Amino acid sequence: MEQQEYAAGATQVAGGTSDGRTGGAGRSTTDAVAAVRGAGPDAPQGSAPADPADGLSPDPGLLRLARWFAEADPGTADDLCAASFGLYPARHFGAPAEAAPVPAVPAQAAAGNAAGTAAVTAPGGAPDVSWWHGPTAHAAAALRARGTRPARGPRRARRDADTLPVVRSGAKPGSPGRHRKPERSRGAAAVAPPAGGSGGSGGSGAQDRSAAAAEQRIAARLLLAHPLVTASGPHADGFPLIRRHRDWLAERFDTLLGYRLVVGPWHARLCKAGLGPGATRRLEHPATGAPFTPGGYAQLALALALLVDAPEQLPLGRLRAAMRAASGPVPAAPGDLGMALATLADWQVLTGVPAEPADEDAVLTVDRELARAVPAGPPALAADAADLIRRAAEAEPGTAVRRRLAETPAVLVADLPEDQRAWLREHRHSGPAALAEFLGLEAESRAEGVALLDPAEELTDLVLPGPGTLAQAALLLVERLVEEVRPLPGEPAEDAETPGGEPAVPVVPVPDALIDGVLGDIADEYGLPAGWRRDYLADRTALRRDALDLLHRMGLITPTPRGTRPPGWLLRAPAARYAPAADLLPTPGTGRHSRRDPAVTVPSPTAEHAEQRA
């Protein structure tokens, strides 16, 4: 949001009903979710006026948002944060599925769905093949790297040192990346003309266009992964690319995703729209990784309400006093303010934040421009938190589906409303292809839906498979759950249909006892040999909770609908891409936690002992 517009008190931040071409937070939208300042006589109750004692005047819309955060449950608070701030990163699967034929199907299943048994030769295509029985991205547990992966970031655009600046990245050394074609050095091209004997400018022009396309893709991926990029932050080397291609980027983000891009002298802000309820996006403490609580979100919104008009130098004690005076009924736990301040420091809104929030003598430096850029807008037209979450996610069908494809690991047809399902059916190939070209992703189309993959593992905040106890345990857990409960080919779905009209099974229920048994088996088999964290091995309840949370955030499992008794989990079809090739007659587990095959008679210890004596 532009600073001069904010000061005028009339800025409308778009983020709601589509104009028919774009949607959500894009330009040219007809309905604004939020207005900044200018509350006037109709300001919501509880908005504190300027206090002459401290000179800090809180923004009434952000105060209203802080109350909504404080009153929300944890899941709703996460969704409200995505809708009001839009600072979440994209999330994608990495490894593409390997080309492999679908296993043979028993005669009784083949009779029900003969068309579903064709061999697969193109992992990215094959829209009629199910995730349950199609190609997999399985990696044997013994072959998984247990070392630390390098940090992820935008791919390096290779070019001469004396031309454009090199973009720093966390890309793996020696890997050119799959999201772009490698460019040749322009200096080398001048010395060695292309084959054919022509030394004209045609080759140089093609290389310039290739370099520009690589820069545009790098900038687009950086913004989708980090919607707020500053000229002095951790991704500062990518900021010149964003400024250089800002017009092209703004047009493409608006056209494809309905996102508004604002590029100023010192920062770039991609205003993402909300993802609707159940988006599994949350803020975390930048140092500890602890998830935000509703109280932490409330303190964050409350601090922003004061910082948007705060002086450049602000004592921490003065900020805390103003927050207490403005908060009214907004409760706060002891650690909530610390989480909020640490996040604001990570966003560079504040500098000079002390390690201990109780140090009231510390003097903070406030960047008001960044403080005003953080909100997609305080609530103006929304009636409550649920209304804001709904409005922020509204868009015309094509834009809504493309947003899901760009931001989430996989889009299941069964999860879409009818208008979006019809759009995906009509644009099965062209819709994902446009985004894949824009962002350098690979489309994986299956009977149950579509996923855009990022083999470089840069355009995602979570990586699976990944290093560490939790990622390894979650991967092993989902592999074995798929082997146990995946449907047979030809099993009909009750209420799911693929774009081609063929039946598909998007989710299957998973018994709680099976989760406990499988997790116990893999902890016994892999825990100590793989060097898993001893606190997880000692507390299996924590291991189960965090492993299921990771799988849920990756879109591989989902909780049963609210009101289901007893509550449980559903395994989603994309989970099968991480399991070994389907074995339609699996052998029963042999671990001490596993269920036994009732058809196999296991002799009792007493009978076995008597037989040995005889």
d(CA 512, CA 215): 48
d(CA 231, CA 250): 18
Write the DSSP assignment of 314-353 as a string of letters: EEHHHHHHHHHHHHTT----TTHHHHHHHHHHHTTSEE--
> What pLDDT sits at residue 136?
87
> What pLDDT sits at residue 420?
96
Q: Say which residue, 560 or 108, is predicted with more confidence.
A: 560
Single out the residue of 367, 359, 371, 365 nearest to residue 317, CA to CA. 359
Cβ atoms of 498 and 448 closer than 8 Å = yes
Q: What are phi and psi of 420, to 5 degrees?
A: -70, -35
d(CA 339, CA 343): 6
d(CA 63, CA 65): 5
Single out the residue of 382, 374, 408 nearest to residue 16, CA to CA. 382
Quickly list H helices, 72-119. Answer: 74-84, 107-112
3-state class (DSSP) for residue 125: coil
Burial label, 41 (beta-carbon count in 10 A; 0-12, 13-18, 19+): exposed
Q: Which stretch, 8-22, 96-110, 404-418, has highest mean pLDDT?
A: 404-418
Q: For tokens 């109709």, name the residue.
A: 42
The token pair at 135 is 């190609």
> What pLDDT sits at residue 168?
37
Burial label, 306 (beta-carbon count in 10 A; 0-12, 13-18, 19+): buried
Single out the residue of 513, 493, 509, 510 nearest to residue 501, CA to CA. 493
Q: Is the peptide bond before 561 cis (omega within 30 degrees of 0)?
A: no
> What pLDDT sits at residue 191?
34
| Contacts with 436 (C-beta within 8 Å, 6 or more apart), sequence order | 442, 443, 452
The domain ranges of the chain are 3-88+277-388
* pLDDT 10s digits, 407-466: 999 999 999 999 999 999 999 899 999 999 999 999 999 999 999 999 998 999 998 888
d(CA 276, CA 76): 10
* pLDDT 10s digits, 214-230: 999 999 999 999 999 99
Model confidence at 114, in pLDDT bands (50, 70, 90)?
very low
d(CA 100, CA 119): 7
Cβ atoms of 22 and 255 closer than 8 Å = yes
Number of Cβ atoms within 10 Å of the Cβ of 320:
16
pTM of the model: 0.76
* pLDDT 10s digits, 472-529: 999 999 999 999 999 887 665 444 444 445 457 899 999 999 999 999 999 999 999 8
Q: What are phi and psi of 188, to 5 degrees?
A: -65, -35
| Contacts with 261 (C-beta within 8 Å, 6 or more apart), sequence order | 223, 246, 249, 250, 253, 254, 268, 269, 270, 271
As a whole-number percent, the residues of the chain with pLDDT over 90 amount to: 53
Q: Rg for the chain (alpha carbons), in Å? A: 27
Burial letters for 244-268: b for 16+ Cβ neighbours within 10 Å, e otherwise? Answer: bbbeebbebbbbbbbbbbebbeebb
d(CA 9, CA 3): 10
3-state class (DSSP) for residue 24: strand
Q: Say which residue, 100 or 211, is predicted with more confidence.
A: 211
